[in-house]
Chains A and B, each alone.
Chain A
Amino acid sequence: MTEHQKDRFATGVIYFLVGIVVILLAGILGNILINGLPHLSWHFLTSESSDFQAGGGVRDQLFNSVYLLVLTTIISLPIALGAAIYLSEYARDNWITHLIRSTIEILSSLPSIVVGLFGYLLFVVQFGFGFSILSGALALTFFNLPILTSNIEESLKGVSATQREAGLALGLSNWKTIRGIVVPAALPGIITGVVLSGGRIFGEAATLIYTAGQSGSLVDYHNWNPLSPTSFLNVMRPAETLAVHIWKVNTEGIISDATAVSAATGALLVLVVIIFNLSARYFGNKLYQKLTAAK
């Protein structure tokens, strides 16, 4: 074979493999959406799930997923921001910093089931929180922290050093410079990071099955007292999320329409991920334009 023929052959192989992958990807996305969307009705989104019969919805699971997402973000954002500020602004280039970075890498590479089991040990058993939204949110925080921290750190590093100099030369403290100038300038990137990590949290199940639990309790959406056991805001109640719901109806489920329910829930999850991806870009860009607006 001449070099020229080899070149043509290799190009052919690459295009062939890419073709297979494209068909595969299109097939996967198409399958999820085509099988799921027809079942995704208003009734499905707003009615309770059923344990035995067909025709149940995912109202509570949907709310629980959103609630856990919000709580997890509220808990993890300040910690991730603080840690990212340390890494990007205060850390010196020495062995301690290297050790800290390795630690965060280790956390990010831990299997989520291990993080979930640790949450089970610490929060559910040791602290006695039981299977609850609180245990789930704390476990998800662990799952979320490393990625969020490194996303925020990247955004902070993207802010020009001349901005920091400008602040310091005006007699501002490092901290005030960071809080008032660097963080706002990095905000588009930070928001993109938060939204993208939100998509991950929304679809996570392994961390939750032994922390937030695999069943829901009776929930009253008119009870606004977070301390009441039936309130939808109560953080001590067990809560099954959408992702956990798919897993459960497929592994233990006895409902006859498990496939339809899973397909619809799967399509819902994928839609949410798509929305998160698109809005992360949209808000990031929008905010960036606003910050640097020429008007």
Chain B
Amino acid sequence: MENLSPAFITTFEASERALTTEHLDVLYGGTIQKLFDTSLQFKKNSITALIGASGSGKSTFLRSLNRMNDTVATVNGKIMFHGLNVNQANINVYELRKSIGMVFQKPNPFPKSIYDNITYALRADGEKNQQKLATIVEESLRAAALWDEVKDKLNQSALALSGGQQQRLCIARALALRPEIILLDEPASALDPVSTSKLEDTLKQLREKYTMVMVTHNMQQAARISDYTAFFHLGHAIEYDTTTNIFTNPQGAITEAYIQGSFG
């Protein structure tokens, strides 16, 4: 049996933490445990990469952070956000998700115009000022580095965009709600190399304003854009440190084997 206890887990000052999990367990169907006793702290205005093999629990962990797993799994433990445990029954998950946005593996724009894709949630939220909506659309698209490519076709269907553009639109759509944290679930896995590099540039820019947690299968990508990296194995967070340390000086034997195998 491998030793699955954490090799090293970095911590931050309370004032630096954007989000913290304490002893998080995730169970499917009440019996199948996918995540064990995970306690991680995420630093403000940084990109944290979650790496590990398929089935290591990293996606499960990520989706628990904004309560997207509620209907399919039981999540035990605490998720601390601004001093509040948001993993409680009385928490308003809709408001929570407006503060903790999410971008998915496969680009999933709505079958609506580019403009409506970005404004839909805002209008549902009661924003009626057209001027303000137009400003937000432009700013979000600029922030997602998509403005120049789509500014002349905002009323066209979002489904006509390329995969990479669609994914950046999904980021713009999340940004429009002015979240604090953005969760990214393998955002580049369905994209070609050029689109991927554009997406990575976008994420690097956004670090200035947002805290990002990103699941990725791509080690080079984790190395290129993340500040911190957490390594998951069989549902356990094995090691969590600066990206440089994880890749060049891993403490755990499993981490080292995984990194070495991945870089080949």
Where the two chains meet, the residues of A that have a C-beta atom closer than 8 Å to any C-beta of B are 160, 162-163, 165-173, 176, 180-181, 184-185, 291-295
Contacts and interface: CB of A to CB of B under 8 A. Distances in A.
Nearest to A181: B110
Contact of A292 (B101, B121, B157, B177): B157
A295 B157 contact: yes
B156 interface: yes
Contacts of B170: 166
B48 to A, nearest CB: 18
A171 B97 contact: yes
A170 B66 CA distance: 10
Contact of B124 (A162, A168, A172): A172
Nearest to A292: B159
Contacts of B106: 162
Given A167-B110, A170-B98, A180-B120, 13 more contacts: A162-B104, A162-B106, A162-B108, A165-B104, A166-B173, A169-B66, A170-B121, A170-B173, A171-B97, A171-B125, A292-B157, A293-B159, A294-B157
B148 interface: no
B68 interface: yes
User: Sorted from nearest, which 7 A-B pairs have the closest CB atoms?
Assistant: A171-B98, A169-B102, A170-B121, A162-B108, A171-B97, A166-B108, A294-B160
B94 interface: yes
Interface in B149-166: 156-157, 159-160
B108 A168 contact: no
Contacts of B125: 171
B159 A294 contact: yes
Nearest to A179: B124
Contacts of A293: 157, 159-160
B157 A170 contact: no
Interface residues of B, number: 27
Max chain A Cβ within 10 angstroms of own Cβ: one of B68, B102, B108, B109: B108
Contacts, number: 68
B159 A169 contact: no
A129 to B, nearest CB: 41
Contacts of B160: 293-295
Nearest to B105: A162
Contacts of B101: 169-170
A163 B104 CA distance: 10
Contacts of A165: 68, 102, 104, 108
Contacts of A292: 111, 157, 159
A169 B111 contact: no
Contacts of B192: none
Contacts of A294: 157, 159-160
Max chain A Cβ within 10 angstroms of own Cβ: one of B110, B125, B156, B170: B110
B177 A171 contact: yes
Nearest to A185: B111
Contacts of A291: 111, 157
B222 to A, nearest CB: 22
B26 interface: no
Contacts of A181: 110, 120
Contacts of A295: 156-157, 160
